[in-house]
Structure 1
Amino acid sequence: MDKASLADALGSPAVFGQSQFALVRGNAFEARVKADGGAELLRLVHEKLDRGAEPPAGAHVPDLSATGPEGRAARTSLALREATGTPGTWTLLDHPMLALDVAGSPAFLEPDAVVVHPDGSWTVVEIKSFPMLDGSADPAKVGAAARQAAVYVLALERVAARLDPAPRVRHRVLLVCPKDFSNLPASSAVDVRKQRAVTERQLARLTRIEDIADALPEGVCFSPELPAEELATAVEAVPATYAPDCLSACELAFHCRARSREAGAVTSLGRPVRAELGGLSTVEEVLAAARGEAGDPDDPAVAALRRAAQLRAEALASAGTGTSGVAGCR
């Protein structure tokens, strides 16, 4: 389904994406990196990842255009097969299309580039617009780029497994960023083995889509054309646990946040808070436990809440009498 359209129909539109300025700047930088048949990009790949290979004097850049994502994914697989079967040459795939099974449904992925080395191995290239200052970039942004590249590596491994012999998919990807505050490219090799392993475990644990569908009421439909009330009922048939980090990952996050707040769910305060509260799942239960009206006194979470409530009451009482000169500061 188109979750963005679904969120609009529910009256909770998602706010995603970079600013127009950032998009234009990022596209201009990527075009510069890939100019002249990817000469600069291939030079960086050779310098950072494959110094033992023959320096790239040029590269084959196959046409990957096709109809629809399925057609582009098939064309990418064919181009990778052809490039791997031509040893001794460099091949640059510009915006290839890869398919990865996610819980029983194909997800189509588009890396910035994939390079086929002269030895037939494959490397993922990620081009980002955040700067690399004095040879290093923001660790949080590099980590996000590594997680993204790890998904591409997994998808490439699925393609490689269908070839005989299977080519090697390198687990060191090339991250290309602007150097300092210029538009000149700088690069770094990033090992994504850890991120790849984590992603593979997460994919293996996902509930398959057919299992989710089997648990839904008969005839449920998520068409944005449905009346808002009927659509909301259909969406609520799928269990969801909102947390603040959903805001950066899901188009339905604002809808789920509103429902979570209406229900008083403590997960709306964040997963760390939820983990500290044990079996207390709603704000009302937490307040009742803190007041001594509910909860097992031997429960560490309940005991901590009651102690916190006692300290708060003592602090307010002290402030109310002007002790320590804080009464006028409230």
Structure 2
Amino acid sequence: MTSTEQRLAAIRGDVPARRHNARTIAALTGNPGCTRRAVLDSAGVDKPKLAERIGFPARFGQSRFAISRGNAFEAQVKSDGGTELLRLVAERVGADPEEPATWTDLNAADPTDRYDRSRDLLTTAGDAPALFDHPLLSLEVAGQRVYLEPDLVAARLAGRWHVVEIKSFPVVDGQADPAKVAAAAIQSAVYVLALRELLAAAGHDPELVSPDVVLVCPRDFANQPVASLVDVRRQLLVLRRQLDRMARIDALLAGVPEDFTADPTAEPAALVAALRTVEARYAPDCLAACELAFFCRDEARGQTGALGRPVREALGGVATVADVLALADGVRPAEPGQAEAAALLRAAARLRAEALAQSSSGPGAFAQQPAGAGALAQQPAGAGAFAQPSAGAGALAGRSA
């Protein structure tokens, strides 16, 4: 065991490292600038147990109903040897839907050699179209080999390989929930990267794996499947950057105190004190992706970052809400580098005061509200209205089969 491995083991305590999967790897890209999360995930810390221990339990996850619904829809789509699924995928990627394709169910393989069999079959596939059900891929995350299981890999359709993801959220009138599409896109990018690395290791061109993932969902709340293409090139870039950052864990650990611990069995007060010594980068969208988000939100109360990345970036270095209000009211001068943000805040406060003054002269819902920049203080510190929608979650209109 290297010194780095020993230190990571000491950070997580006397517990086994928590293994990553496609969902947790995808979540790593949600806030790549957060040192706290990068260190904890590199050490394999059990973040749900840690969050519960310090009094901020995680409040998200898939419901049993959603899992059952997803499994039922996937079984329906893959019935009859994947005949309907082949047609959907082939039409979407521009292949001949009438050309026969082989179907290999790797989910039924012996678990002890499933990865080896998946690797051999995927890397020796001929020129004929082939569908591989639940192959087992792998990816290295912070020095750990993680095994991943995409829903389907379609090989040699229109000369390319495609990852196929089957999700049970609906596409209504050609549109799907942008947040769910974004989550599916980054999760699929994990599979695309793993498949590219597998082919490259076998001497094949990794670009044979298309960055266009085939997303299969039910249409209009019915069980009729519809296929869409989702371009995950941007997600692949973000994913590579974050994995490279975690691979350089020594650089991250250099800024972490030697006695830092995230052992879920330690005293809560000691854990809280230790966590505060490692920089976090909280944003409202962390609530949907990180088990420690409620702790970090509480820690960031009163900080402009808690209002979302667009607000933090627009304010350009104004760290606290109190400073924002002081600059808007003109009660303190701007520091170097804050002049532009201060001018925008004073202009916004003036316009708001004028609008409220005009509304007070006649009937209106705003007549009772106080004028002045101080009214901004009534906005909650974690206001989700400021959170920017996930990029890459574009509408599926015009792309559905």
TM-score range, shorter chain: 0.7 to 0.9
Map of 1:295 onto structure 2: 333
Alignment counterpart, residue 176 of structure 2, candidates 138, 146, 155: 138
1:232 aligns with 2:272: yes
Alignment partners' CA distance in 1, 2:324 and 2:123: 60
Alignment partners' CA distance in 2, 1:93 and 1:128: 17
Map of 1:117 onto structure 2: 156
Q: How does 1:129-208 map to 2 (within 5 A)?
A: 129-133=168-172, 136-138=174-176, 140=178, 141-166=180-205, 168-204=208-244, 208=248
Question: Contact 1:81 / 1:163 at 8 angstroms: preserved in 2?
Answer: no
Bigger radius of gyration: 1
Alignment partners' CA distance in 2, 1:137 and 1:326: 36
Alignment counterpart, residue 317 of structure 2, candidates 263, 279, 285: 279
Give the counterpart letter for 2:305 in structure 1.
T
Question: Contact 1:10 / 1:231 at 8 angstroms: preserved in 2?
Answer: yes
Give the counterpart letter for 1:187 in structure 2.
A
Alignment partners' CA distance in 2, 1:139 and 1:166: 34
Query: CA RMSD of the aligned region, Å?
Result: 3.2
Q: Measured at CA, do residues 312 and 131 of structure 1 come closer, stay the same or move farther in structure 2, by a change above 3 Å?
A: closer
Alignment counterpart, residue 17 of structure 1, candidates 61, 79, 89: 61
Q: Deviations over 1:225-267 (max 9, x none)?
A: 1110011122222210111111111111001000111xx2111
Alignment partners' CA distance in 1, 2:141 and 2:224: 37
Q: Measured at CA, do residues 96 and 137 of structure 1 come closer, stay the same or move farther in structure 2, by a change above 3 Å?
A: farther
Q: How does 1:40-55 map to 2 (within 5 A)?
A: 40-49=84-93, 51-52=95-96, 55=99
Alignment counterpart, residue 305 of structure 1, candidates 345, 348, 355: 345
Question: Contact 2:102 / 2:131 at 8 angstroms: preserved in 1?
Answer: no
Question: Contact 2:192 / 2:211 at 8 angstroms: preserved in 1?
Answer: yes
Shift in Å, 1:192: 3.0
Q: Deviations over 1:9-49 (max 9, x none)?
A: 11111111233332221111011112234333233333333
Question: Contact 1:77 / 1:159 at 8 angstroms: preserved in 2?
Answer: no
1:66 aligns with 2:105: no
* Sequence identity percentage: 48
Q: Measured at CA, do residues 32 and 288 of structure 1 come closer, stay the same or move farther in structure 2, by a change above 3 Å?
A: same
Give the counterpart letter for 2:264 in structure 1.
P
Alignment partners' CA distance in 1, 2:270 and 2:177: 44
Shift in Å, 1:8: 0.9
Map of 1:253 onto structure 2: 293
Show structure 2 runs of 5+ residues with no match. 1-44, 369-401
Give the counterpart letter for 1:41 in structure 2.
L
Question: Contact 2:287 / 2:294 at 8 angstroms: preserved in 1?
Answer: yes
Shift in Å, 1:79: 1.9
Give the counterpart letter for 2:284 in structure 1.
P
Q: Residue 140 of structure 2 aligns to a residue in which SS?
A: strand
Q: Residue 276 of structure 1 aligns to a residue in which SS?
A: helix
1:100 aligns with 2:145: no
Q: Residue 117 of structure 1 aligns to a residue in which SS?
A: strand
Q: Measured at CA, do residues 125 and 42 of structure 1 come closer, stay the same or move farther in structure 2, by a change above 3 Å?
A: same
1:221 aligns with 2:228: no
Query: Which structure is richer in relative contact order (CA contacts within 8 A, separation 6 or more)?
Result: 2
Q: Residue 105 of structure 2 aligns to a residue in which SS?
A: coil
Alignment partners' CA distance in 2, 1:65 and 1:255: 42
Map of 2:78 onto structure 1: 34
Q: Which stretch shows the higher mean deviation, 113-122 or 94-103?
A: 113-122
Give the counterpart letter for 1:114 in structure 2.
V
Q: Measured at CA, do residues 221 and 127 of structure 1 come closer, stay the same or move farther in structure 2, by a change above 3 Å?
A: same
Question: Contact 1:64 / 1:76 at 8 angstroms: preserved in 2?
Answer: no
Alignment counterpart, residue 210 of structure 1, candidates 244, 250, 274: 250
